[in-house]
Structure 1
Amino acid sequence: MQSFLILLVLALLASSCGFRKYVWFISLGYGAAIALVCIGLLVIFGGSLTVGTALQCVLLVVYGCRLAGYLLYRDMKTAYNRRMKGEVKSDEGVSVVAKVGIWVSASLLYVLQTSPVLFRLADGKGTDVLCVVGLVISATGLVLETTADLQKNRAKKANPKRFVDTGLFRLVRCPNYFGEMVFWTGVFVSGLSVYANAVQWICAILGYLGIIYVMFGGARRLEIRQDKNYGDDPEYRRYKSTTPIMIPFVPLYSVKEHTWLVA
């Protein structure tokens, strides 16, 4: 419990950047919180790390730093900010109470997401088959997510006014979100041999389902934005109707009407 609270404090510190810019609670602050939480794990359990658990922590630090760095770079680009003006909710009208609520709930989610690694380290379980399997799945997700971001940047530089349907985007319309889900699936799977009681199961499941919900909410926002920008383009309509939105080969083509996806 003490370790959990320490990690929550670290997540709160890292994501507090959202008080400067509201959306940073769930973007820049998200990546920074994951990285800082896992640096905390390395420090707290430094004397009992195995190869597998050390790699888990390092992979999560790399994941968080990559995400935070990419989002910060993107946020600093004048062209991106101009394109997203009016599309992203501003700080106007968001009360301090609402900001604190988002800050605390988001930080708690970030700790829950990483809880499978915490439970493994706290229970001294070391490296087992599921730890290795989870590492492979998470590494695959990180590669997918990074590749998708690079391909989108390259495509937008070549043709800023066109939607992206090249590379991984041929298989799924949100490959970066898909990669994110794969990454956290690996983290959850890695703990299947560790969860020792109902509390640990609940924490791990809430963290996993929470990030899946956030990803589908992000896909819904993206679909609404793309429909607004490209809805009159026959090529976009054809692309949308034939390419799954989130998971390759799963015929789910739209989440726009699912208003419960409000993340």
Structure 2
Amino acid sequence: MRAIRYATLALYIGSARGFISPIPHATLRHDGGCEAAGTIQSNKSVKNNGLTRLPTSVISREHVGSKEITRSKTFTSGIALGLLAIVSNSAIVHAAKKTVEVSAPAIVLPTTSTLLLACLLPTLLGFYKSEYGVSYGYGTAIASSSCLVLSSLASAAGMSLLPSSLTPSTVIPAIQTFVTSLKSLTGNLPAFHAASLLFYGTRLDLFLLYRELCLPRFRAMRERIEDRTKKQGSRLKRTPFILSCAFLYYCMMCPLLVTSSLCDGIPMCRCGVGGPVAPLEQILRVLVGLTLSGFLLGALGDLNKSLGKMINGEDALITGGVFRVFRHPNYTGEVIGWVSSCLAAFTAVALKAAQGGGLAVWKSQATYLGLSVLGAIGITFVLGTATAGLEYRQNEKYGDTEEYKDWVKRSWVGFTLGKRKEPSSTVEESTEGDSDSQD
């Protein structure tokens, strides 16, 4: 707007100059002659120190007439330029107002109640089958919550992830639209973060469905968990457990809310972009990238083990591929993903505080940061204890074989908490029967 005002002022000055005519002037010279502007002629001269100065000039009638015509034309041009400046200024102001009106809307993230419902409703499957609350409920809660945030980011960018109405005939076009919009959005760091969580939840649900439909031993595990839960009383007694799981899922989503509210406009990749980059901004990109990398490691572990079991049999010990390095890539990948997501939230706040937000940014995000830590600690505890239990069970089954001993020496166990012999809860048993188990 300042540049617009300067340009308008220049137009006014240019128009005002049209009302001021140039003043004729005479020059001095040594030979007594005269170099005068226009048609000035001198009939008298005054000598002073050898110089001949022309006094007030006598202007011919012809020159006066010509000058009046010139002044009239200049006056008319000045009026025209002045009117043009006024009209231009009005047009500029109007255009500026329209620009403000059509500017991209601010991001309106889903409300807390909406996200809590998105985490709670899938978890209610635990009333039907206890194991579903920590398997399908887990994956669907993460996928639906991240999809809501991603939809908000798309709306702020003037895009739509899904059509307002969905019919069987529009499913394929809707999927194409979703993929196209997702590709356009993921160049933005918050959208990339949301897409990473959406990938995790969707991939987990699809794998759980495959496991239940194609692997009888997992159906048997589900029924074993259900029978044990029924012995503890009615289904209503599961309510505290289901509510606590839903709250944990919400806490795990909080880092995404922080990055979405503070980091809009930060590109996920600065390839080809010049200029210095703040170290905190680079760290933030690395952490968001590690979030997806951890989830990809878990997915690769599931695929590696599933193919190995199909080829070598259900009782085979899988030690090749990604298992050559990670003994439990599914658990290890999840811990890396969720802890990186939590750290990304803290880095985003630190970046905004360093850019001028100061302590106010920390205060405004304190609740989300606290819940993020709670979510990271909660899921790390579950996965760490499950890893310890799985270590024990694998040692019981394969501990006497040289293959197992050699594998333990050259592979990393990952993140483990304590040494448990048997799973002590529905969460642990369901997790130990997850895609990473080899029993």
TM-score (norm: length of structure 1): 0.84
Range moving further from structure 2, 12-21 or 72-81:
72-81
Residue of structure 1 aligned with 2:305, choices 123, 139, 152: 152
Range moving further from structure 2, 187-196 or 133-142:
187-196
Describe the shift of the 1:10–1:77 C-alpha distance in structure 2 as closer, same or farther (beyond 3 A).
Answer: same
> Is the Cα contact below 8 Å between 1:148 and 1:175 reproduced in 2?
yes
Residue of structure 1 aligned with 2:141, choices 24, 27, 33: 33
Query: Aligned-pair distance for 1:8?
Result: 1.0
> Is the Cα contact below 8 Å between 1:213 and 1:261 reproduced in 2?
no
The answer to whether the aligner puts 1:179 opposite 2:333 as a matched pair is yes
Query: Aligned-pair distance for 1:67?
Result: 0.7
- Any residues of structure 2 matched to 1:37-56 within 5 Å, and which? 37-44=145-152, 46-48=154-156, 51-56=188-193
Rounded Cα–Cα distance in structure 2 between residues aligned with 1:88 and 1:143: 28
Q: Corresponding residue for 2:367?
A: 199
The answer to whether the aligner puts 1:17 opposite 2:125 as a matched pair is yes
Rounded Cα–Cα distance in structure 2 between residues aligned with 1:81 and 1:261: 18
> Is the Cα contact below 8 Å between 2:189 and 2:264 reproduced in 1?
no
Rounded Cα–Cα distance in structure 2 between residues aligned with 1:79 and 1:40: 34
Describe the shift of the 1:24–1:203 C-alpha distance in structure 2 as closer, same or farther (beyond 3 A).
Answer: same
Residue of structure 1 aligned with 2:206, choices 60, 69, 91: 69
Q: Corresponding residue for 1:217?
A: 385
Rounded Cα–Cα distance in structure 2 between residues aligned with 1:243 and 1:52: 33
Rounded Cα–Cα distance in structure 2 between residues aligned with 1:97 and 1:206: 26
Q: Cα deviation per residue 1:172-215 (whole Å; 9 max; x = unaligned)?
A: 21011111112112311221234423423311111111111111
Rounded Cα–Cα distance in structure 1 between residues aligned with 2:218 and 2:189: 40
Query: Aligned-pair distance for 1:84?
Result: 4.3
> Is the Cα contact below 8 Å between 1:32 and 1:64 reproduced in 2?
yes
Query: Aligned-pair distance for 1:88?
Result: 4.9
Rounded Cα–Cα distance in structure 2 between residues aligned with 1:43 and 1:216: 33
Q: Corresponding residue for 2:230?
A: 92
Rounded Cα–Cα distance in structure 1 between residues aligned with 2:252 and 2:421: 24
Number of aligned residue pairs: give it. Answer: 258
Instruction: Specify the structure having the higher radius of gyration (Cα).
Output: 2
Range moving further from structure 2, 71-80 or 33-42:
71-80
> Is the Cα contact below 8 Å between 1:139 and 1:183 reproduced in 2?
yes
**Unaligned regions of 5+ residues in structure 2, if any?**
1-108, 158-184, 267-280, 350-361, 429-439
**Given residue 19 of structure 1, which amino acid in structure 2 is its aligned partner?**
F
Residue of structure 2 aligned with 1:104, choices 243, 267, 272: 243
Rounded Cα–Cα distance in structure 1 between residues aligned with 2:418 and 2:403: 19
Residue of structure 2 aligned with 1:139, choices 280, 285, 292: 292
**Given residue 132 of structure 2, which amino acid in structure 1 is its aligned partner?**
W
Describe the shift of the 1:124–1:134 C-alpha distance in structure 2 as closer, same or farther (beyond 3 A).
Answer: closer
Identical aligned residues as a percent: 26
Rounded Cα–Cα distance in structure 2 between residues aligned with 1:142 and 1:2: 24
**Larger RCO (alpha carbons 8 Å, 6+ apart):** 1
> Is the Cα contact below 8 Å between 1:171 and 1:243 reproduced in 2?
yes
Query: Aligned-pair distance for 1:44?
Result: 4.4
> Is the Cα contact below 8 Å between 2:298 and 2:333 reproduced in 1?
yes
Range moving further from structure 2, 199-208 or 148-157:
199-208
Rounded Cα–Cα distance in structure 1 between residues aligned with 2:331 and 2:283: 24
Describe the shift of the 1:8–1:82 C-alpha distance in structure 2 as closer, same or farther (beyond 3 A).
Answer: closer
Query: Aligned-pair distance for 1:170?
Result: 1.5
Q: Corresponding residue for 2:322?
A: 168
Describe the shift of the 1:190–1:126 C-alpha distance in structure 2 as closer, same or farther (beyond 3 A).
Answer: farther
Rounded Cα–Cα distance in structure 2 between residues aligned with 1:73 and 1:260: 24
Describe the shift of the 1:260–1:164 C-alpha distance in structure 2 as closer, same or farther (beyond 3 A).
Answer: closer
**Given residue 100 of structure 1, which amino acid in structure 2 is its aligned partner?**
T
Rounded Cα–Cα distance in structure 1 between residues aligned with 2:331 and 2:400: 25
Query: Aligned-pair distance for 1:71?
Result: 1.2
Query: Aligned-pair distance for 1:236?
Result: 2.3
**Given residue 92 of structure 1, which amino acid in structure 2 is its aligned partner?**
K
Describe the shift of the 1:83–1:152 C-alpha distance in structure 2 as closer, same or farther (beyond 3 A).
Answer: farther
Rounded Cα–Cα distance in structure 1 between residues aligned with 2:300 and 2:282: 27
